[in-house]
Structure 1
Amino acid sequence: MHTRTAATRRQREVDQGAARLVERLLELAPRGLAAAYLPDSAEFAQTVRGVAGSPTVRIRPEGVNPRYAAIAAMGLSRVPLEVQHDVLGGRTASEVAAMTAARVLGSTDPGAVALAAWAEAELTGSYPGRLLGRLRDLLSGGRPLPTVDTAWMLTAAVAADGLGPARDVLEPAAQRLLAHAGDQGTFPHLLPPQALPRWRAHVGCFADQVYPIQALARAAALTGESSWLAAANTTARMICGRQGREGQWWWHYDVRDGTVVEGFPVYSVHQHAMAPMALLDLLDAGGDDHRAEVARGVHWLDSHPEVVEELVSERWGLVWRKVARRERLKAARAAQAATSSVRAGNRLPGLDRILPPASVDHECRPYELGWLLYAWLDGGDLDD
């Protein structure tokens, strides 16, 4: 599969090395997704894990996750049909998207419903009416909603607009997001955040920032609503201003002032897929150009000064999930969140010495490779 695309060509204008690394990852991704695919049910595993033991190291798919099936289908929709057939046991990405949409109709997971609606609308061209109806009920029901799920609802409504009524999902989802953005554009983990314990309510993770950037940028491009694009720009400037010296996209942020609460783990998917996807969508919508920060983030996959071990596994076609602290039960996050809850800017000193970020997580979840393909490919733009 040839992997020089419109997006990587545009990235070459800023940093050729980063573009070459992305093209290398795009070559690997279909093989990694094939390892996570369960052909009997057309589902995707929760994760693919590297397992040591006799007679050799192997990889093992574990569990199932309909969210990941929708995301993997969206990524695979952008590769040639023969590649889709090879990965999906003769099926196409649109067929897997339709099967996933049918499977989640009775799901209680708002994120799975939103992603399935997005994938069904975008890949099959069908109006996901029943799924959008579920999203309308969730948005009007008054229950707290995760920020990520709400952003996906907004993006799903953008994808469905023009196929059928979607503005009654689009507008309340956008308003729910914007009502809870901090002064620096930082989003909390739950909307409203008061539904979380006090020690956690002021903290939003990286995903809580990038999915709203993407959703608001796409919604602004569709509707012409300039305040939504301005909000996406504000959040993008916040995360780019906090990016690590070696390109790390840090994990948790303080909603009150945008400062980093806890940096680790650094997730590979943030570096090669989620940040590029959101920031390139923002650029396409007429927002700020953050390709330099995208390049720095991608380069971390090779430089990763925290660990000696390589993160890109050519052998398996996978990218190992994260570089994390040597800790148990996310102790550093809990400690930093509790410390900063007293006053913005408070941090525990010496944490890198006590809990060094020196551990590689030998798993790869299929959504990571799905978003990689989706971020960097635009159906039909593959060339030599």
Structure 2
Amino acid sequence: MVSSMNISPIKSGTLMPDFSQNSPLVRYALRGLERCWLPEHGCWSHIYHLDGRTSPNESLRRSDVFYTLNVLLGMSRIKEVPGSINLSEIFYRNAIQLTVLPVPKYALGMALWVSAELGFEVPEQVRREVKVLLSDQAGWKVLRAQDLGMLLTGVVAQARRGDKEWARFAAPLYRFLEEQFRTGSGLFFDVPSGLRRRFASFATQIYLSIACYHYGEFAGESSALAMADACVRKLIALQGPNGEWPWFFDAVGGRVLDFYEVYSVHQYGMAPALLEWAERYRVRGARNALIKGFNWVFGENQLRRSMLVPDLGLTIRSQVRKQELTTRVPRVLRSVRNAYVGRESGLIESAGVGLRLECRSYELGWILWSFGQRGDLLELTHNSAFGKFAVPA
């Protein structure tokens, strides 16, 4: 079991009472998080390597902290948190590190979001740093999509909870998003200006669309909901033949510049988080796209293999071009060329595709968030792949 200070292993195949209310999928992710726990730091790890090394957990402190907040976000939605996980202790221990470590701006937005979902107060030093950032609108020009998306989502979550001091930032952040990140293609830009602007990732689309749904629902802003819906429709249209969510886009042309890497977390976590909103707003095809994307993880993919590691409760991070396991340079050059000649990328021959043998704790956190409350997708949450995690009769 996981605790805030240490971890006691559970024998393979056994289940504790704490797990009894959660679906097999959620229990699978919780079991994997046990493997990723770093007792000496009181957080979940940056990487759990799946290549057989004797010490599989790798720590990178600024990443550990953000990933841990992402896991806590997921914990806020599951039906029963294992009793030995001290949510408040883990939250405060890691949140205060945000003002010490060189973390990206989006980590501050995640702290706001998590604290609102769990009902915890934002540490004062974090509160001060976020307010300085949000009060300097001239400085927003350096924000990337993930920064802006998480900050807006966090602000709205705090405002919805009743913290009025955050509500004043919501509308200006949304207007900045609308003016600087909106395109005519339905996709979002990655940055407010510059040559990098049109080269947008799948994560760009997820974080800004989720932020638009949050703000649109909170403020009754129909334009925000319309932008989110348009982005979802475009992503569904660009989804791969096996349910793959492409990684890199030309936001101007609304084209796929490169499918790879295809990340498991997009298939089972981040896309479902967005598509849950899209289902609520009756975007056509959202549910089918979610299911098709998740089935990619079960083996309906190019390599015809499951991306699960059942003995560990973990997942394989991605399918990647074999020659790009250690470098991104070819991908960058290929994407730039495709963008400026108007070419759309597709899948390559399977022989050229390999696996990135690692798992990151935040990926499991997205499973908890996206499926902790869902009881309507039993073909996914109670799939036979998670059979060993079923509640005993």
The TM-score, its normalising length taken from structure 2, stands at 0.81
Given the alignment of the two structures, is residue 293 of structure 1 paired with residue 294 of structure 2, yes or no?
no
1:187 matched residue in structure 2: 188
Contact between 2:257 and 2:339, CA under 8 Å: does it hold in 1?
Answer: no
Contact kept in structure 1, 2:299 and 2:307, CA below 8 Å: no
CA contact (8 A) 1:218 1:282 kept: no
2:94 equivalent among 82, 100, 113: 100
Which residue does the alignment assign to 1:280?
276
The alignment partner of 1:359 has SS state of: strand
- Check if 1:42 corresponds to 2:42: yes
- Give the match for residue 370 of structure 2: 375
Displacement, 1:80? 5.3
The C-alpha deviation readout for 1:113-145, integer Å capped at 9, x for no partner, is: 111121122213425643541441454424411
Q: Match for residue 133 of structure 1? A: 131
Q: Is the 8 A contact 1:273 1:368 kept in 2?
A: yes
Q: Work out the CA distance in 2 between the residues paired with 1:163 and 1:225.
A: 20
Aligned to 1:67: 66
Shift, 1:58, TM fit:
6.8
SS of the aligned residue for 2:56 comes to strand
**Judging changes above 3 Å, is the alpha-carbon distance between structure 1 residues 357 and 226 closer, same or farther for their aligned structure 2 residues?**
farther
Q: Give the letter for the 2:93 counterpart.
A: M
What is the aligned partner in structure 2 of residue 26 from structure 1? 26
1:335 to partner: Cα distance: 2.6
SS at structure 1 position matched to 2:241 = coil
Q: Larger deviation: 65-74 or 300-309?
A: 300-309
Residues in 1 aligned to 2:282 and 2:88: alpha-carbon distance in whole angstroms? 30
CA contact (8 A) 1:97 1:123 kept: no
Q: 1:271 to 1:82 in 2, by over 3 A?
A: closer
Alignment correspondent of 1:156: 154
The one of 315, 322, 346 equivalent to 2:343 is: 346
CA contact (8 A) 2:78 2:369 kept: no
1:330 to 328, 331, 341: 328
AA of the residue aligned to 2:91: A
Q: Contact 1:114/1:149 (CA < 8 Å) preserved in 2? A: yes
Letter in 2 for 1:220: G
Cα RMSD (Å) = 2.8
Equivalence for 1:177: 177
What secondary structure sits across from 1:117 in the alignment?
helix
Aligned equivalents of 1:359, 1:2: Cα separation in 2: 36
List, as ranges, runs of 4+ consecutive aligned residues in structure 1 with deviation greater than 6 Å.
Answer: 379-384
2:89 maps to a residue whose letter is E
Match of 1:20 in 2: none
Instruction: Please say if residues 139 and 169 of structure 1, whose CA atoms lie closer than 8 Å, have aligned partners that are also in contact.
Output: no
Cα distance in 2 for partners of 1:380, 1:74 equals 19
Moved more, 125-134 or 95-104: 125-134
Residue aligning to 1:211: 207
Letter in 1 for 2:27: E
User: Which residues of structure 2 form unaligned runs of 5+?
Assistant: 1-18, 382-389
SS of equivalent residue, structure 2 residue 260: coil
Deviates more, 1:309-318 or 1:267-276: 309-318
Q: How does 1:299-310 map to 2 (within 5 A)?
A: 299-310=295-306
Q: Structure 2 CA distance, aligned partners of 1:119 and 1:301?
A: 27
1:62-96 deviation digits (Å, cap 9, x = unpaired): 323221111011112333555152xx4xx2x2332
Structure 1 CA distance for aligned equivalents of residues 208 and 79 of structure 2 = 29
- Residues 46 and 366 of structure 1 are in contact (CA less than 8 Å); yes or no, is this contact kept in structure 2? yes
- The residue aligned with 2:228 is 232
Distance 1:210 1:372 in 2: 15
SS at match of 2:348: helix
